[in-house]
């Protein structure tokens, strides 16, 4: 964190409201308008479908506002079926993700292809992510909140940790390969601690259409999935004062280290 920010925070006592004001003054970040000035977004997902299930409405909205959205999928999704064998499923899920991404308006798809359920939490994967961030140069990196209570899927927890670490370290010239890139903003989806609710009332239809494209995941029990997706959107919408919403925790990346205030905003 920039020393001036800490010094001012200490001087003022830093209630959440005061800290919000400080972020505006010192980093130019308005927590009420987190996408202001963002042009390139890298949405990192453990499996094909996570970006859309979590924040498909937000991504559809942002891509239609002219922002460039890219997906980075870390695993092959080969564990996500009781019927199809892994080799077939990984191909099916790639095709489904390509169709869904087109519906959302995603410009580019990147894949790492690790085995579903076995994403390694390692320095090597982190350096792979740093390399991708440095070549794609996003203004905002999105990933699952690794601290979501009761999240049992290791790929989700590891994806969130690795993405956060890579977004933070990609600015450091002595870490990894390639030219450093300062990721200004980091955001977590699938979060129970959002600091931003995006109004997706006009984009829920598109989100549902994109999810439907993941036939191997949702087709069989579509009616229940639709109820679930609408319920989650109403849960967040209720908090934000909209019919349907999606929740994110977005902050300047520099605040995600040694900062006791990152969780209170």
Q: Of 190, 174, 198, 184, whose CA–CA distance to 23 is shortest?
A: 184
CA distance 46 to 115: 10
> Quick one: 157 or 196, whose CB is closer to Zn ion?
157
> Quick one: 76 or 165, whose CB is closer to Zn ion?
76
> Quick one: 86 or 240, whose CB is closer to Zn ion?
86
> Quick one: 46 or 105, whose CB is closer to Zn ion?
46
**Least Å from the CB of residue 95 to Zn ion:** 17
- Report CA-CA distances (Å) from 76 to 54, 80, 95, 115: 18, 9, 11, 6
**Least Å from the CB of residue 31 to Zn ion:** 27
- Residues numbered 188 to 217 that lie near Zn ion (CB under 5 A) are none
Which residues are bridge partners to 197 per DSSP?
247
**Least Å from the CB of residue 47 to Zn ion:** 4
CB 49 within 8 A of CB 75: no
Q: Of 28, 225, 55, whose CA–CA distance to 141 is shortest?
A: 55
**Least Å from the CB of residue 158 to Zn ion:** 11
CA distance 190 to 56: 12
**Least Å from the CB of residue 232 to Zn ion:** 15
CB 156 within 8 A of CB 147: no
Query: What are the counts of helices (DSSP H) followed by strands (DSSP E) for the chain?
Result: 9, 7
Q: What is the distance in angstroms between the CA of the first residue and the CA of the last residue of the chain?
A: 15
- Residues numbered 31 to 50 that lie near Zn ion (CB under 5 A) are 46-47, 50
- Residues numbered 135 to 154 that lie near Zn ion (CB under 5 A) are none
> Quick one: 141 or 255, whose CB is closer to Zn ion?
141
> Quick one: 169 or 188, whose CB is closer to Zn ion?
188
The distance from CA 29 to its chain's CA centroid, rounded to whole angstroms, is 18
> Quick one: 44 or 255, whose CB is closer to Zn ion?
44
Closest residue to bound Zn ion by CB: 47
Q: What are phi and psi of 104, to 5 degrees?
A: -70, -30
**Least Å from the CB of residue 91 to Zn ion:** 18
Binding status of residue 76 toward Zn ion by CB under 5 A: no
What number of chain residues touch Zn ion (CB under 5 A)? 3
Q: Of 161, 154, 162, whose CA–CA distance to 126 is shortest?
A: 162
**Least Å from the CB of residue 75 to Zn ion:** 8
Positions in the binding site for Zn ion (CB under 5 A): 46-47, 50
């Amino acid at each position: 964190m920039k020393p001036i920010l800490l010094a001012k925070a200490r001087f003022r006592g830093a209630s959440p409201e005061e800290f919000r004001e400080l972020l505006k003054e010192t980093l130019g970040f308005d927590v009420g308008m987190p996408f202001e000035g963002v042009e390139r977004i890298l949405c990192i997902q453990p499996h094909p479908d996570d970006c859309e299930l979590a924040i498909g409405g937000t991504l559809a909205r942002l891509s239609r506002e002219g922002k460039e959205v890219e997906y980075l999928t870390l695993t092959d999704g080969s564990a996500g079926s009781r019927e199809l064998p892994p080799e077939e499923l990984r191909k099916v899920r790639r095709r489904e993700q390509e169709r869904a991404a087109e519906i959302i308006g995603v410009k580019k798809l990147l894949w790492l292809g690790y085995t579903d359920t076995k994403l390694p939490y390692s320095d090597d994967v982190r350096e792979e992510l740093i390399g991708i961030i440095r070549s794609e140069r996003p203004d905002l990196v999105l990933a699952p909140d690794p601290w979501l209570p009761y999240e049992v899927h290791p790929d989700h927890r590891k994806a969130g940790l690795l993405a956060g670490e890579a977004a933070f370290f990609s600015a450091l010239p002595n870490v990894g390969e390639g030219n450093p890139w300062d990721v200004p903003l980091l955001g977590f989806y699938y979060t129970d601690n959002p600091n931003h609710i995006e109004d997706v009332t006009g984009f829920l239809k598109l989100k549902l259409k994109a999810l439907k494209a993941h036939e191997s995941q949702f087709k069989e029990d579509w009616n229940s999935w639709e109820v679930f997706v609408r319920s989650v959107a109403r849960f967040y919408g209720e908090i934000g004062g909209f019919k349907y919403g999606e929740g994110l925790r977005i902050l300047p990346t520099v605040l995600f280290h040694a900062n006791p205030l990152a969780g209170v905003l």
